[in-house]
Amino acid sequence: MTTEHVFDKALALQHSDIRAGHFTGMTSPDYWNMVGPFGGMTAAIALQAVLQHPDLLGAPIALTVNFAAAIEAGAFDVQATPVRTNRSTQHWTVQITQAGIDGAPQMTTIATVVTAARRDTWGTADLAMPEVARPDTLVRMEAARAGVAWFAQYDMRPVSGAPPSTWDGGGDHSQTRLWVRDAQARALDFPSLAAMSDVFFPRVWLRRAKPVPAGTVSITTYFHTDAAQMAEVGSGYLLACAAGQQFRNGFFDQSAQLWSEAGVLLATSNQIVYFKE
């Protein structure tokens, strides 16, 4: 008997009115992150609503998720709306809400998605995959602290820039390189690629070697791949690289890239993160 993957359970959406783009879902304890769901899972859910919409054109090329408030444990609603469809591109808005104390819907997440019908054209990659040790030569990171259940759902093997072993305030860079894949084997697809774009711990922790409170405010992921390329990746590792660029006035940014083991750049992302002293 085939067991449903834990990611697919967390990603599951039911439609109350699929033509109108309205879906419902439940938060997953397997992807919990301290005060709410793992941000990568929230991003995957927003994308999944678009992928399940009957009016979908093409495949995702861009996903922006703004985290307005933490999603509480329990049920939530997702509204996916195609706001403009052109010959080859389609623009979407996605909203995730939950019922407040008074029963009125409260906004938690606002997202935009761009999908496109890609054409065969000339292409090249100006960014080369870093030369790093292979994943089978590296040690998997141990499970994170209590309350961060999502961490156990990934097999992450740091090449460099692992979380500091000593929180002494002596950090001098913010770059991390690690191999990552689902801990329970699962073929790569757009939702899982969106989720893995957010697997990095806060860059400020590495830069300062200090575990200050931090949380993503907004993340944008650009997809440079298609279903055929992801089928070649299968359940293999991705090389995930991230670095901060500016830390100032309570916010910092992060740029990230995800490559296949074959050296194909599958996705890039940027996010803005708040932090406290």
Residue 144 has pLDDT above 70, yes or no: no
- Average pLDDT estimate for 57-66: 98
More confident residue, 45 or 2: 45
Q: Is the fold of 6-116 the same as that of 141-275?
A: yes
pLDDT one-digit tens code per residue, 228-277? 999 999 999 999 999 999 999 999 999 999 999 999 999 999 999 999 98
pLDDT in tens, 36-54: 999 999 999 999 999 999 9
The per-residue pLDDT for 146 is: 61
Beta carbons within 8 Å of 134's beta carbon, 6+ residues apart = none
Q: What is the mean pLDDT of the segment spanning 130-158?
A: 90
User: So what's the architecture of 141-275 in CATH?
Assistant: Beta Barrel (2.40)
Per-residue model confidence (pLDDT) at position 195: 98
Residue 32 — pLDDT band, cuts 50, 70, 90? very high
Is it the case that residue 145 has pLDDT exceeding 80?
Answer: no
As a CATH number, domain 6-116 is 2.40.160.210
What is the residue extent of each domain of the chain? 6-116, 141-275
pLDDT attached to residue 2: 66
pLDDT per position as a tens digit, 67-116? 999 999 999 999 999 999 999 999 999 999 999 888 888 999 999 999 99
| Burial per residue of 41-70, b for 16 or more beta-carbon CB atoms within 10 angstroms, e otherwise | bbbbbbbbbbbebeebbeebbebbbbbeeb
Q: If you average pLDDT over every residue of the chain, what do you get?
A: 95
